Amino acid sequence: MASQPPFTRVQVKVDIVHGVEVADPYRWLEETRAPEVSEWVAEQRRHARAVLDGYPGRAALESRLEAVLGGGMLGPSVPRGSRRFFARRDAGKDQAALHVAEAGGERILLDPAALTGDSTGALDWFYPSSDGELVAAGISTGGEERSVLHLLRTADGGLLADRIEDCPWGQVEFEPGGTGFLYTVFPKGAFYGQHVRRHRIGRPVAEDPVVFRPADPTESPEPAAGGPGGRWVAINVNRGWGESSLWLAESGGDFAEVFRGEGESLRAWFSGERLLALTNAGAPNWRLVEIDPEQPGRESWRDLVAETEHVLLEVEASSDRLLVHHLVDACSWVSVHNLRGEFEGIVDLPPLATVTGLGAHPSATEVFLTVETFTRPAFVLGVDPATGRFTPLGGLEPPAGFEVAAHPVRQLRFSSADGTPSLLFLVGRAEGDGPTLLTGYGGFNVSRTPIWTPAAVPFLEAGGLLAVAVLRGGGEYGERWHRAGMLESKQNVFDDFAAAAQALIAGGFCTPSTLGMLGRSNGGLLVGAALTQRPELFGAAVCQVPLLDMVRYERFRIAELWNREYGSAADPDAFGWLHAYSPYHHVRAGTRYPPLLLLTGEDDARVDPSHAFKFAALMQAANPGGLTLLRVAERAGHGQGKPVSQLVPEEADIWAFLLEHLR
């Protein structure tokens, strides 16, 4: 069997960009629906299946993954009054459903697969009204995330006639009184131009007026309503992941911009009659402030929870307490404060854990924390805010046969090339070298913290070691940390990742031949950069739904939204740093690259599959004696809402590939 598929047509294409010659020999693969590209994809699929199905351990891995991934999932709790709403996928089910827990017990409120008659039907998001009597939920199919807003009654689960299309990544804010709500929506068929409309329940959607439309179609608005008598409407407007504005209006009045961050962010919401906000304005590690809508200027803000040395992630208010969630070395730390912000105590959490959901609301006295660790799936704690003590309320259990004690979790410190300190989480094998997988993200202010990763269970049980790197560009250490890994500083992220790999090798955990790497989306860009910059450090690479052509990335799908994180190639300076690390432009013929598995979805709404197509073709041509596989999932997108029946074979391919090559 040939290690690479048959020859792929090369298109002689060279652009001159800001005076620089930029070769693009596989641009024809950008036409992902063209007949010749479909034929090429079909050949790639046949080749990948021939190789992956030949791995001797794959069948056993798939069987184990079916048991592990079929064990269910549990999302954060969202309390309203005496009810608690959450997403849960029960054992044996393909998709998560919306559940409600109340005095009479727990029941399914909305099953998206049953509603759509499609196994890919997914619950993208949900928002209960303040009294918990109604819920707005976003449902999509095929992984395309183009949510349709459905409205349902909590009492009986009945769907109302109100149905609104084009609400991907929706934000919904029920107005006081419960007769209507504000919601975000896109122009039909578009992924730019998100704006806010008001819907009156029972009225035709065509009558919904536009409440707020950002001047820039790449900006993202988030509505909030409240104050005395529901008098005020607030709109948070996000410009990328590091800057935002706040607009305020009295109900029915004109909006005024009362805060505009220049390299700063603020997220405001109404908690009862109070307007609270998390902000990094003057506080890179964030603080909680109270804003008087009558005097909203920053000089009048009142600190409730001041900035500390640790990054403040989120705050939720119950009827009588504030729950405050910090990260300490990328692990959750939750404190209890009174409504004036005065510290009262600490919630006793497990070590090296992540609070994935901080559940509190002014309508409810009960508070709920959803918690995960690397070796335990999500479970719920009911917290007594007066004492900080908690009561376990159930959750998921580790899969049968998984011995938690056999897979210790610890942290390893390391320093990057420029001396910047960071850390790795290590999960699994207590001693000796062997198969090791390094993963990371490093971007968009996203924090990598301890979470349950069920797909890694067979790898851990095979003696593998999972290493999760904390990289600049994330949110683990505040806004300075984020900005140190974006725009012109993006190379820092790749240097951090290489330093983490070197720390694992130097520590005796692995050798380059037994060290693999895995990343998805922005993490796929990370893997692509590490592969082209430091191929000698790795024995195998898995690159999922990746960005790889950073010269043309913004031309596809929603990628123009990411200009503020990466920069635009239309700008000469930004082109300089994008081209300098763009993986597609740094594949070199004759270089020994480790075996590579690329994965994408044909309906990815976020990252165009042509990134993976072009990179696969180029790697196969440049490295004919090596191995590059391309796996293209049908009726699948970026990964959100993927049913278990699709996840199991995909994960079996990933882990079989890694265990085969990390020797």
User: What is the torsion angle, in degrees rounded to the nearest 10, for the CA atoms of residue 447, residue 453, residue 456 and residue 457?
Assistant: 150
Strand partners, 379: 371, 395
- According to DSSP, the residues that pair with 349 across neighbouring strands are none
**Residue 466 contacts residue 427 (beta carbons within 8 Å):** yes
Q: Which residues pair with 137 in a beta bridge?
A: 126, 150
Compute the distance between CA of residue 44 and CA of residue 49 in angstroms, rounded to an integer: 9
29: nearest Cα among 15, 47, 11, 43 = 11
- Report residue 37: phi and psi, to 5°: -75, -40
| Residue 363 three-state SS | coil
**Residue 227 DSSP SS3:** coil
Helices 58-69 and 644-661 cross at an angle (nearest 10°) of 140
Choosing from 130, 140, 271, 521, the catalytic residue is 521
Q: Is 150 a catalytic residue?
A: no
Q: Give Dmax over CA atoms of the chain in angstroms.
A: 73
Residue 375 token pair: 């070796």
| 3-state DSSP percent of the chain in helix, strand and coil, to 5 | 25, 35, 45
Torsion angle in degrees (nearest 10) through CA of 518, 519, 524, 525:
-100
Q: Of 15, 36, 23, 21, whose CA–CA distance to 621 is shortest?
A: 23
Q: Which tokens is 282 given?
A: 């003057």
Residue 194 host element (H or E): none
CA gap 272, 639 in Å, rounded: 36
Asked if 313 contacts 326 with a C-beta cutoff of 8 angstroms, the reply is: yes
638 is catalytic: yes
Query: Catalytic amino acids?
Result: 521, 638
